[in-house]
Structure formats: C-alpha cells, structure tokens
Structure 1
Amino acid sequence: MQKSTVVEASIALASGIVAASLGSELASHHVSPAAIVTALLAVVSTGLYVAQQLGQGFRSALYTCPVKGCTASIRAKDTSPAELDRLRSIATDHSKHGGPR
C-alpha cells in the first residue's frame, strides 16, 4: 500500500470536517440518528473515493494517440522507465495499435 499524498489527506480531512458539520446541523434539526449516520457515511465515503481516484491519477502515466479520432490510450502504474518508454511508443505510434489513416 502506498503512502497518501498531501492532496489525498487534505480531501479526506475536508470530507471529515464537512461530515461533522453536517451531522451537527442535522442533529440540531432533530433528524433521526440513523439518518444522520447514513448521511455522514455518504459524505465520508464520497470524499475517500474522490481522494483515492485523484491519488491513482497522480501515481500513473496516461499516454494517448495523437491521431484525431483515435481513442487508443494506455494508463501505466508502477512500471519501470523502460516499460514506460515502450508503452509510450505504442500509444503515440498509430501504426502500432490502429490501421493507417
């Protein structure tokens, strides 16, 4: 498991703060405890999901084909520099993954 980035930790902290504020506000309006817990879990889990997705984006490389209309792309994570070069050449050379245009 990789360490959290500052961005991931910030988003997780912010979602916790929002959840606490929301819980306090809902409690002041006499909302049932079950509804409060449900809302808090939704806020925190959404924040953690967003943090994880951003973290994955920061830890990976995305290579796309420069040919207009070609949707080929390669996302690489935890690979060697030599493998990144190989994947980059596959993604950016349209003749290696698609027909001639």
Structure 2
Amino acid sequence: MAIEQGEIEKIAELSRIRISDEEIGQVTQRITEILQMVDQLQAVDTHDVEPMANPLDATQRLRPDEVTQSNRRDAFQAIAPAVENGLYLVPKVIE
C-alpha cells in the first residue's frame, strides 16, 4: 500500500504536525515503507496459530485478596468539618 504526499500533508494538517517541504518526501517514503511491512505481516497465514497471552506461557502470581485495614470511616467522619448521611459536605466549587 503506497501513500501519496498529498495524504501526508493532509494528515499533518489535521494532526497539527508541522512538516517542512524538505522533509515531506522523506516522511512519505518512510510511512510507505512501514505500510509495506504491515502488508507483509498481514500476508502471513496464521490460520492454525493459536493466540497466546504471553509468549513465555508465564502466569502472574497474585496475592490473596484479604482485607488488611479496618474500616475507620466513622473515625474519619468524626473529625470532618461537615458530614451528612455518611457523606462529606464540601463547598460548591463550580457555578
């Protein structure tokens, strides 16, 4: 898949990237080469290849999901300036 210089200029304008006139040809060539590599990868037959989550068949060690701190909500709300129905009351900041 080839990409035209005009398309690169349009993409650069839309993404607000400044590409000088001297660089536009080189950028177009590099993006064309990248798209050719993508085409090459897409041409590979992967029909019988099983997807994998990790190339090393590694699994993540997980810690047990245990509560390590006690519920101190009442203690924190006792020292709060304003609380109502278990909620902290704060001044309105957006009009």
TM-score, normalised to structure 2, is 0.34
- Tell me: higher relative CO, structure 1 or 2? Use CA pairs within 8 A at least 6 residues apart: 1
Q: Which has the higher strand share?
A: 1
TM-score, normalised to structure 1, is 0.32
Q: Which has the higher helix share?
A: 1
